[in-house]
Structure 1
Amino acid sequence: MKKIGIIGGGQLGKMMILDAKRLDYQFMILDPAPDCPAHSIADVHIVADFDDVDAILRLAAKVDVVTYEFEHISLAALQKLETMGHKVYPSAATLEHIQNKYRQKVWLEKHHLPVPQFIRVESVSDISQAERQFGYPLILKTCTGGYDGKGNAVIRNASEIEPAYQALGAGRLPLMVEECVPFTKEVSVLACRSTNGEKAVFPVAENVHKNSILDETTVPADISGATAKEAMEVAAACLDAFDACGMLCVELFVTPEGHVLVNELAPRPHNSGHYTIEGCYTSQYEQHIRAILGLPLGNTGLIRPTAMKNLIGDRSGRAEVSGLETAYQNPDVKIHIYGKSAVKPGRKMGHITATAETIEEALRQVRCAHQAITIGEEEEKQ
């Protein structure tokens, strides 16, 4: 029986386990939260911090292969595992090029993949230099640790340079600045490569964000065939450039001319790929497990037009869910609740998916279901 270790026990890890349990694999997770989403279905849970090298070594010693569900983990630990002969996918080398956003952009540019203009920031004067090169607005980013809009600041004029610099650590964290791309759409492509070199690319997904957090995803994206082809080719090229094994999410901007620029990469299953569970013949989670075990990859074709909407916390308290009976009045809706014990503003608590004959009908159903569901309605008792 195969034993798989996952660094991280959040919703992505949980959905990996749910798909792979059909093949009777066993899972050991490492996560500092005793009640993390994957805890209830993992075979073993090591409660430890993500930078606890000894704990990661204990995990690796008891499984056949190690993977991870998010990229903000100890690179040194993965490198050590590999030197000891453990199988780690995606590899430490892949993570090293992706974990730092500046290095990620440099690597993309080196491999002739399209990216927005960018420079490294070591002082406030570097931001002023970027303005002279790119013009306003600018996007200031932390090179590590950012997600869902955290670690980003928009600079619209000279008076906002210093406040943005201070807000992102005033140089205590590595920073970079990018031109603000006048995109028409944000899209993403999920691509996968197996340990045996086989590659598979999912359809292009169109994404809408609210407060810098993914709100809705629709597939197929409303773009031209030529743009879709370019996006999928860029995603496949990213697999090769980063020597990625397993799922790789490539987030892209679509320019007014119909071309694409790479925004960011994630070496794992991704929120914008949740739609694949119901919408595709093979989900991104099953595909990731197949890839890291060297199994043949599955069909990535879209079964029907699909829409996904996130359930995002808007208050703090216990994660009590209500409204499911009303939400399920929409017959094509599938609801996923992640099992987090507490709700917080901006926290991803679940998602809703629907497939239908048209994107418009799928969106209508997920939006109706979304209005019916409340998470954390009751305030936490003092």
Structure 2
Amino acid sequence: MKFKDKTRQKIGIIGGGQLGKMMILEAKKMGFYVTILDPTKKCPAHSIADQHLVADFDDREAIRKLAEQSDLITYEFEHIGVEPLKELEAEGYKIYPTARSLEIIQNKYHQKNILKQDQIAVPNFVKVTNPAEIREAAEKFGYPVMLKSCTGGYDGKGNALISSPEEVETAFQELGAGKAPLMAEKYIPFKKEISIIAARGLTGEMKVYPVGENDHQDNILYETKVPAEISAELKQKAEEFAREVLKVFEGIGIFCVEMFLTEDNQLLVNEIAPRPHNSGHYTIEGCVTSQFEQHVRAITALPLGDTTLLRPTVMRNILGSGKEGKAEVIGLDPALAVEGVEVHIYQKTVSRPGRKMGHLTVTAASLEEAAEKGLKASKLIEIKGEKD
């Protein structure tokens, strides 16, 4: 098969996890050749990739090889070395989202700084390097205060909630005792956590998805409901924030903007992800164009797709249970017997408690019905490791 536009022929993806897998499923529908780079031989995307470079994410030679045999590179997670990508960009290789976007977003302090400079509302924050500065920030913001690693954190890892001066030293030690950059952030007693998926193409075209309402348990996303049960005014404000974020970071591809809705009905941007996001999985069944198809469209200069919500939708993560060991899916049949339920199994070979092993989505006539069916189905399916 030959493409008239050669730049659309081969896509390289850094990462072969579930996000990479779902990107490939959409890319293959449009005829793209996809190569992944991932150190795990049987990663979720391995079975459907056209080619798999088995190498570490910090292997410069392997990343260069991926670039040389691809027309463009994208990535499914942001904790990768940015310097090799900057070098490749300087040589003319295409990387989306750009290395500049990635470099800023990788560091939460820099991320928040650039948002604040562009007058996008964020929680108050300050860089800290020692316990004395953490106490000073806590006195300014009030207890409790959030201590965050500026780099590397995800799913609550790299965060410590400090409730009193006595907890400062312990939190400082837990987050590396200053070996990695730290920031202190005002704790926000929010009413809701929401997120919005937005896309920007190479032409500057932008599309924004409906606002999702998120429920986290143990710092891991548990459920996303769409549409979020917030006012039309707040939805419009969230969309404005999303569009501004895409402009600020000159984003190409899918970006997720996570926000807090405060007790006094203000929106504050919490974090940004320069890639398809867990809270956007609902778009696969819930919207005309999924976030994964949209990402492929955006980075290959194709027209962006319709983001209309087809029906109220609920997404629930399926987390590993039992002990760590070979993954075993239990209860797929009864879960799929619940009307409106779709199940996505990531095919990770090893399950461990709390690991994201799959998700299910439910579409229904009402959000209440979708939530009820989602809860029912989630109680029927389980992905376990070794038997207890």
Q: Do both proteins adopt the same fold according to a TM-score greater than 0.5, normalized to the shorter chain?
A: yes
Q: Tell me if the contact between 1:318 and 1:379 (Cα under 8 Å) persists in the aligned partners.
A: no
In structure 2, how many angstroms separate the alpha carbons of the residues matched to 1:89 and 1:268? 9
Match of 1:199 in 2: 206
In structure 1, how many angstroms separate the alpha carbons of the residues matched to 2:321 and 2:112? 33
Give how far 1:245 is off. Answer: 0.5
**In structure 2, which of residues 355, 358, 372 is the aligned counterpart of residue 347 of structure 1?**
355
Task: Kindly indicate whether residue 300 of structure 2 is the aligned counterpart of residue 300 of structure 1.
Answer: no
Match of 2:110 in 1: 103
**In structure 2, which of residues 19, 22, 41 is the aligned counterpart of residue 12 of structure 1?**
19
In structure 1, how many angstroms separate the alpha carbons of the residues matched to 2:184 and 2:235? 28
1:283-306 deviations in Å (ceiling 9; x for gaps): 000000000001110001100000
**In structure 2, which of residues 341, 352, 369 is the aligned counterpart of residue 333 of structure 1?**
341
Q: Tell me if the contact between 1:317 and 1:344 (Cα under 8 Å) persists in the aligned partners.
A: yes
In structure 2, how many angstroms separate the alpha carbons of the residues matched to 1:210 and 1:183? 15
Q: Tell me if the contact between 2:351 and 2:385 (Cα under 8 Å) persists in the aligned partners.
A: no
In structure 1, how many angstroms separate the alpha carbons of the residues matched to 2:321 and 2:126? 35
Question: Which amino acid is 1:365 matched to?
Answer: K
Match of 2:327 in 1: 319
Task: Kindly indicate whether residue 352 of structure 2 is the aligned counterpart of residue 367 of structure 1.
Answer: no
Match of 2:185 in 1: 178
In structure 1, how many angstroms separate the alpha carbons of the residues matched to 2:267 and 2:42? 40
Match of 2:6 in 1: none
1:83-106 deviations in Å (ceiling 9; x for gaps): 111110000111111110010001
Give how far 1:58 is off. Answer: 0.0
**In structure 1, which of residues 287, 290, 295 is the aligned counterpart of residue 297 of structure 2?**
290
In structure 1, how many angstroms separate the alpha carbons of the residues matched to 2:327 and 2:378? 16
TM-score when normalising by structure 1: 0.98
Relative to structure 1, is the Cα distance of residues 377 and 174 closer, same or farther in structure 2, using a 3 angstrom cutoff?
closer
Question: Which amino acid is 2:333 matched to?
Answer: E
Question: Which amino acid is 2:330 matched to?
Answer: S
In structure 1, how many angstroms separate the alpha carbons of the residues matched to 2:291 and 2:343? 17
Give the ranges of 4+ consecutive aligned residues of structure 1 lying more than 2 Å apart after TM superposition. Answer: 377-380
1:67-146 alignment, distance < 5 Å? 67-146=74-153
Task: Kindly indicate whether residue 237 of structure 2 is the aligned counterpart of residue 230 of structure 1.
Answer: yes
Match of 1:255 in 2: 262
Q: Tell me if the contact between 1:3 and 1:27 (Cα under 8 Å) persists in the aligned partners.
A: yes
Question: Which amino acid is 2:76 matched to?
Answer: E
SS across alignment from 1:37: coil
Give how far 1:378 is off. Answer: 4.3
SS across alignment from 1:313: strand
In structure 2, how many angstroms separate the alpha carbons of the residues matched to 1:340 and 1:367? 23
Give how far 1:257 is off. Answer: 2.2
Task: Kindly indicate whether residue 173 of structure 2 is the aligned counterpart of residue 161 of structure 1.
Answer: no
In structure 2, how many angstroms separate the alpha carbons of the residues matched to 1:312 and 1:365? 18
Task: Kindly indicate whether residue 275 of structure 2 is the aligned counterpart of residue 268 of structure 1.
Answer: yes
Give how far 1:331 is off. Answer: 1.7
Question: Which amino acid is 1:283 matched to?
Answer: S
Match of 2:71 in 1: 64
In structure 2, runs of 5+ residues without a counterpart are: 4-8
TM-score when normalising by structure 2: 0.97
Question: Which amino acid is 1:143 matched to?
Answer: C
Give how far 1:379 is off. Answer: 2.8
Give how far 1:322 is off. Answer: 1.5
Cα RMSD (Å) of the superposition? Answer: 1.0
Give how far 1:369 is off. Answer: 1.2
Task: Kindly indicate whether residue 207 of structure 2 is the aligned counterpart of residue 209 of structure 1.
Answer: no
SS across alignment from 2:321: coil
Question: Which amino acid is 1:155 matched to?
Answer: I
Relative to structure 1, is the Cα distance of residues 45 and 51 closer, same or farther in structure 2, using a 3 angstrom cutoff?
same
Question: Which amino acid is 1:172 matched to?
Answer: K
In structure 2, how many angstroms separate the alpha carbons of the residues matched to 1:352 and 1:321? 13
Q: Tell me if the contact between 2:321 and 2:382 (Cα under 8 Å) persists in the aligned partners.
A: no
Q: Percent identity?
A: 54
1:258-303 deviations in Å (ceiling 9; x for gaps): 2210000000000000000000000000000000001110001100
Task: Kindly indicate whether residue 37 of structure 2 is the aligned counterpart of residue 30 of structure 1.
Answer: yes
1:46-65 alignment, distance < 5 Å? 46-65=53-72
In structure 1, runs of 5+ residues without a counterpart are: none
Q: Tell me if the contact between 1:230 and 1:259 (Cα under 8 Å) persists in the aligned partners.
A: no
In structure 1, how many angstroms separate the alpha carbons of the residues matched to 2:302 and 2:309? 21
Question: Which amino acid is 1:195 matched to?
Answer: L
SS across alignment from 1:368: helix
